Amino acid sequence: MDNNKSWTKDKILAIYNKPLMELIFDAGIIHRQHHDPLKIQVSKLISIKTGGCPEDCGYCPQAARYHTNIEKNNLMPVEEVLAKAEAAKATGSSRVCMGAAWRNVQDGEDFDQVIEMVKGLSAMNMEVCCTLGMVTENQATRLAEAGLHYYNHNIDTSEEYYKEVISTRGFNDRIKTLENVRKSSLKVCSGGIIGMGETVNDRIGMLMGLLKLSEAPESIPINALVPVEGTPLEEQEIVPIWDVVRMIATTRIVFPKSTVRLSAGRTQMSKEGQALCFMAGASSIFAGDKLLTTPNPGDNEDMELFNLLGLTPTEKQKDNTGKVKIRKGQPVLETVADEKWSRPGHVIERNVKATEKGKEIRKKAHPVPPEGRVTELTENSVK
C-alpha cells in the first residue's frame, strides 16, 4: 500500500485542527470512497502469554517491574488458543490477534509453539495476527509460512515522546521490526496510543512516523490509554472522546486505504462517542470482554451497538493461507545472526518511581524471597 510522501506535519496539523464537524464530514467522505461504511472488521485478542515482561513501557500493566493487579500466565497451550478462537468465530470475529508479553521473539520451543497456533488458526479459516514484540526478518518469514496474515507492532507515539515513555527498547527497533515484517510478505498493523500526556504535535508525529515506513500499514490501531493502577501512567486523565474522534478522522484522511481500528479504551467511551469514531472512519474493533488484561465492552454490548447503527461484521478477507509468497533465493529457515536490538537505558522519572513502588509492595508481600524463586525480570532474557 502506497505511503503518500507529500504529507507534511503542518498539513496534517491543519487537518487535525479543522472544525470538528468539517473534519468528521471530510473523513467520512474519504472513508466511503475506499471502504463499506456499514461493515466493521472484528478482531478477537487472545493474550497467549501474560505479564512478567522485562520492559518498562510506561503504559503497560504487563511490565514485571510495576505492581499491577493482573493474572500472569505462561505460554498458553495450542488447544486452548484454538478453542478460544472457535468461540470468537461463532460470535462474528473474522480475525484473531495473539499477544505475548515479550520484548522480542526468541527462536526456540515457545516460538515453535506459537507457529503451531498460527497453523491451527489459519486452518480454521480465520485471519491471524500476532503481536510478540520485536522480530527479525527470518522469524517474520517463519510466521508468514505458517499462515500468519498480519503482524502488529505499534510505534506508539512520536519519536520524541517515545523517549519519555520507554527506556528499554528504542524507537528505531520498532521501525526495523516493521520493515522486517514488510519484507517477509506479512501485512503490517501499526499505530499508537493517545492520552499518555503527549501533545497534539506528538500525535501528528506518530502519523509522520508511519508515513516514513516504506509502505503504509494495512491496519492502524488507535488506542486510548487505559490508565492502569501501578503503571507510571496510572494518573493520566481519560483522553476526551473529541480527541479520539479527531485522531481517528485525521488517520483516515492521511491513510485512506488502511483499516483504522478503534482499539483500547472503548469501555471509557459512550455509544455515541464510538458512533462518531465510526462516522469518522474507524472500520475495525477488538471484540470480547477483555483486551489483553483490561476490560472491553463485550459481545452483547457490541452487538447492541452494531444493531443500533446498522453495522455488520465483515467476513474474513480472501484466503491466502498457504499461498504466502516467499522471496526467491531466501533461505527462510536457516538461522541468521540475531538482530542486535538496542536498549537506550535513559532515566524516565515516572517509570523509576513506579518501579520503586513495585519493589516496595513486593518486599512487603515477601520480606524474604522464597527459595528458588526466579525473579520475573529474567523470564525473557535481554539481548
What are the backbone dihedrals phi and psi of residue 32, each rounded to the nearest 5 degrees, phi first? -65, -25
Which of ligand SAM, ligand DTB, ligand SF4, none does residue 63 bind (CB under 5 to 8 Å by kind)?
ligand SF4
292 binds ligand SAM (CB under 6 A): yes
Catalytic residue (one of 246, 261, 266, 277): 261
Which of ligand SF4, ligand SAM, ligand DTB, none does residue 153 bind (CB under 5 to 8 Å by kind)?
ligand SAM
What one-character-per-residue DSSP string does 283-330 give? -EEEESSBSSSSB---HHHHHHHHHHHT-EEPPPP---TT---PPTT-
How distant, in Å, are the alpha carbons of 10, 84, 98 from that of 174?
24, 29, 18
Which of ligand SF4, ligand DTB, ligand SAM, none does residue 68 bind (CB under 5 to 8 Å by kind)?
none
Interacting residue with ligand SF4 among 53, 189, 226, 276 (CB under 6 A): 53
Least CB distance to ligand DTB at residue 344 (A):
22
Least CB distance to ligand SF4 at residue 207 (A):
20
What one-character-per-residue DSSP string does 60-120 give? -TTBTTS------B-PPPHHHHHHHHHHHHHTT--EEEEEE--SB--SSHHHHHHHHHHHH
Q: For residue 113, how many other CB atoms are within 10 A of its CB?
A: 16
Binders in 4-63 for ligand SAM, by CB under 6 A = 59-60, 62
Q: How far apart are CA 206 and CA 210, in angstroms?
A: 7
277 catalytic? Reply is no
How big is the CA angle at 254 (ends 163 and 312), to the nearest 5 degrees?
Answer: 105
Q: Kindly write out the interface string for residues 195-234 of this chain, putting x where it contacts ligand SAM by CB under 6 A and - elsewhere.
A: ----------------------------x-xx-x------
Which of ligand SF4, ligand DTB, ligand SAM, none does residue 288 bind (CB under 5 to 8 Å by kind)?
none
Three cell numbers written together for 110: 515457545
Please identify, using beta-carbon distances, which residue of 139 and 154 lies nearer to ligand DTB. Answer: 154
Which of ligand SAM, ligand SF4, ligand DTB, none does residue 181 bind (CB under 5 to 8 Å by kind)?
none
Least CB distance to ligand SAM at residue 223 (A):
4
Three cell numbers written together for 332: 527462510
Least CB distance to ligand SF4 at residue 216 (A):
23
CB 118 within 8 A of CB 141: no
Q: Kindly write out the interface string for residues 125-154 of this chain, putting x where it contacts ligand SF4 by CB under 6 A and - elsewhere.
A: --------x---------------------
Q: How far apart are CA 377 and CA 200, in angstroms?
A: 34
101 binds ligand SF4 (CB under 6 A): yes
152 binds ligand DTB (CB under 6 A): yes
Which of ligand DTB, ligand SF4, ligand SAM, none does residue 278 bind (CB under 5 to 8 Å by kind)?
none
Which of ligand SAM, ligand SF4, ligand DTB, none does residue 225 bind (CB under 5 to 8 Å by kind)?
ligand SAM
Q: How many helices (H) and strands (E) does the chain have?
A: 12, 10
Is residue 300 exposed (0-12), middle (13-18) or buried (19+ Cβ within 10 Å)?
Answer: exposed
Q: Which residue has the cell 497456533?
A: 117
Q: Kindly write out the interface string for residues 282-321 of this chain, putting x where it contacts ligand DTB by CB under 6 A and - elsewhere.
A: ---------xxxx---------------------------
Binders in 87-126 for ligand SAM, by CB under 6 A = 99, 101-102
129 catalytic? Reply is yes
Residues forming a β-bridge with 83: none
Question: Is residue 262 classed as helix, strand or coil in its secondary structure?
Answer: strand
How distant, in Å, are the alpha carbons of 18, 152, 227, 343, 345 from that of 171?
30, 15, 22, 10, 12
Q: How far apart are CA 302 and CA 290, in angstroms?
A: 13
57 catalytic? Reply is yes
In the complex, the residues that contact ligand DTB under the rule CB under 6 A are 45, 61, 97, 99, 131, 152, 154, 191, 221, 223, 226, 263-264, 291-294
Which amino acids are annotated catalytic?
53, 57, 60, 97, 129, 189, 261
In the complex, the residues that contact ligand SF4 under the rule CB under 6 A are 53, 55, 57, 60, 62-63, 101, 103, 133
